[in-house]
Amino acid sequence: MEVNIKKLEKAQLFHDGKTKKLYTTNHPEFLFVEFKNEVFPMEGKKSTKVRGKSAINLEVASYIFQFLDSYHIPTHFMGKVGGKYMVVRRLEMVPIHVIIRNAAAGSFSKSFRMEDGQILPAPIIEFYFKNAKLGYPMVNEYHLYAFGSSNQDEIRNIQRYSAKINAVMKNFFERRNFQLIDFKLEFGRSGGKIYVADEITLDTCRLWDQTDDRHLEKITAGKKETEISKLYAEIRQRILHPRTKDEKLNLVR
């Protein structure tokens, strides 16, 4: 049955997270996602409220999900409503962060004592168990089978989609003069199918600017609201309005 997402109505608060609020709607299969203005620097501890950040992440996430859709990658994204919400398919989440790495940086270069920026000969896909109390330990598929968190079929799909998303996203960011060092994905299931969920934004990707060598994850740490706000606006502009158009896209922005 076709659902007109413009007719959906916000019902109850379903999840109040660090960077997003999720609401149920009058349709059991769909949720509203509201982005928050909080910025949690990847390489710093203190969060900062940045006016306008929620609107930028809404635009960026929506754009990237539509981009993935054009490559037949199933995502939870259904559309935007009211200028404030992303409508998504309600999923049963697989309790992992999937991290895809193209070059050493962050926790990876610390663990393996590698130089930041060292290119990995092949991308690395890592799973971290999503449990804050345990400190998000790294796991492999066998942990997930033993814990009853997933099965072989699902893990095969998650790995296949992660590799494909990495390939298309690397190109996407290269066209915008960014090197995609690493990024995080989350997945969820509904009706026996697996979908990319949560968000893909500046907050979940480590991007290095190829025009001036800026490491974007480093420049938000400890900065004032106005500086972070300028950076988000600049990156938003470059993502949504690239000089070289996304060849497969003619998106409503």
User: What is the binding site for ligand TMP (CB under 6 A)?
Assistant: 42, 97, 99, 105-108, 182-184, 204-206
Q: Which stretch binds ligand ADP (CB under 6 A): 87-95, 101-109, 138-146, 229-237?
A: 87-95
> Regarding beta strands 193-197 and 178-190, do their DSSP bridges make them parallel or antiparallel, or are they unpaired?
antiparallel
Q: Exposure pattern of 179-216 as b/e (b: 16+ CB <10 Å)?
A: bbbbbbbbbbbeeeebbbbbbbbbbbbbbbbeeeeebb
Comparing CB distances to ligand TMP, the nearer of 97 and 170 is 97
Comparing CB distances to ligand TMP, the nearer of 107 and 190 is 107
The answer to whether 186 contacts ligand ADP (rule: CB under 6 A) is yes
Comparing CB distances to ligand ADP, the nearer of 180 and 197 is 197
Which residues share a beta bridge with 69?
A: none
The answer to whether 239 contacts ligand ADP (rule: CB under 6 A) is no
CA 69, CA 64: separation in Å to the nearest integer? 9
**In this structure, what token pair is assigned to residue 210?**
């190829």
Judged by CB under 6 A, which of 76, 80, 176, 206 binds ligand ADP? 76
CA 166, CA 221: separation in Å to the nearest integer? 26
Question: Which residues are at the interface with ligand ADP (CB under 6 A)?
Answer: 15, 17-20, 22, 31, 76, 88-91, 93, 186, 188, 197-198
